[in-house]
Amino acid sequence: MDGRNAVTARMKTKISLLVAVLSLLPIPAFAHPHIFIDAKFEVVAAPDGSIGELRNVWSFDEVFTSSVLMDYGKGNNQSLTPSELKAVGKTVRDSLAQYGYYTNVTSNGKAVPMAKPDAIEADYKDGSLTLTFSLKPEQKTFLKGTTIFGIYDKTLYTAVDFATDNDLSTSGSTFGRCKRKVIRPNPKEVMAENQAALTSMFFSDPKGTDYSLLVATRLEVQC
């Protein structure tokens, strides 16, 4: 394996571990995320009233960004060339597909699977790696009833944070007839209100999937 292939292999492993490495540990370990993302999210409605696309912008923390620089930066000058950034985007696109790109959407309680993005654009600026990409539903899904959009890691290994409610936005004429609200659960209140059920979840689901849903910031749209 040459040097470039070796670096690519390490990066793929690192991205995969982003959500998988702690999957076999006890639930309390997930209370402390290891990767942090400042995110912006926009739901774009198509002219026919369906979900057109979901636009994502993720800015990663300095520690994870540094690890990417170490694996992909050739010049040892704390920067990434366009070709290196393209390789990072391709690796993330391939590696996070099995985790749905942390995107969880339901329409009237039914999960809405997302297709693989055409590309993930990577950028490096001011010490932060930023990824920009759009997702589209695998099947046409209309904005009728209650649609909930959540961007979160079900294993709780990665924390996805929206600094303000405006960082979860909507666009398109369809939303003129809809009501929207951002839900920000208080983890302590969730634990207090669901203590018995959560204890059961911890033993039956080592990944803590149900708990991640309870505490995730979500955008709820009613049309």
| Residue 129's pLDDT band (cuts 50, 70, 90) | very high
Given 3-state DSSP classes, what are the helix, strand and coil percentages for the chain, each rounded to the nearest 5?
A: 40, 30, 30
Other CB atoms within 10 A of residue 59 CB: 19
How large is the average pLDDT for residues 74-102?
A: 88
What spatial distance separates the first Cα and last Cα of the chain, rounded to whole Å? 54
Cα-based distances in Å from 200 to 91, 155, 197, 204, 215: 36, 17, 5, 6, 17
Q: State the Cα–Cα distance between residues 144 and 116, nearest whole angstrom.
A: 24
How large is the average pLDDT for residues 58-79?
A: 85
Q: State the Cα–Cα distance between residues 152 and 72, nearest whole angstrom.
A: 26
- The pTM assigned to this predicted structure is 0.78
Strands annotated E in 5-145: 35-45, 51-60, 103-107, 110-111, 121-125, 128-135
Residue in the structure block whose two tokens are 């909930």: 148
Write out pLDDT tens, residues 20-56. 433 333 333 344 577 899 999 999 999 999 999 999 9
* Per-residue pLDDT, 17: 46
Other CB atoms within 10 A of residue 102 CB: 20
Amino acid present at 132: T
* Per-residue pLDDT, 211: 57
Task: Kindly report the three-state secondary structure assignment for every residue of 30-68.
Answer: HHCCCEEEEEEEEEEECCCCEEEEEEEEEEECHHHHHHH
* Per-residue pLDDT, 34: 79
Write out pLDDT tens, residues 163-185. 999 999 999 999 999 999 999 97
* Per-residue pLDDT, 100: 92
* Per-residue pLDDT, 23: 36
Write out pLDDT tens, residues 112-126. 999 999 999 999 998
How large is the average pLDDT for residues 202-216?
A: 56
* Per-residue pLDDT, 30: 40
Q: DSSP secondary-structure letter at 137?
A: B
| Residue 13's pLDDT band (cuts 50, 70, 90) | low
Among the listed residues 156, 152, 160, 150, the one whose alpha carbon sits nearest the alpha carbon of residue 207:
156
Residue in the structure block whose two tokens are 């991205």: 15
Q: What does the mean pLDDT of the chain come to?
A: 81
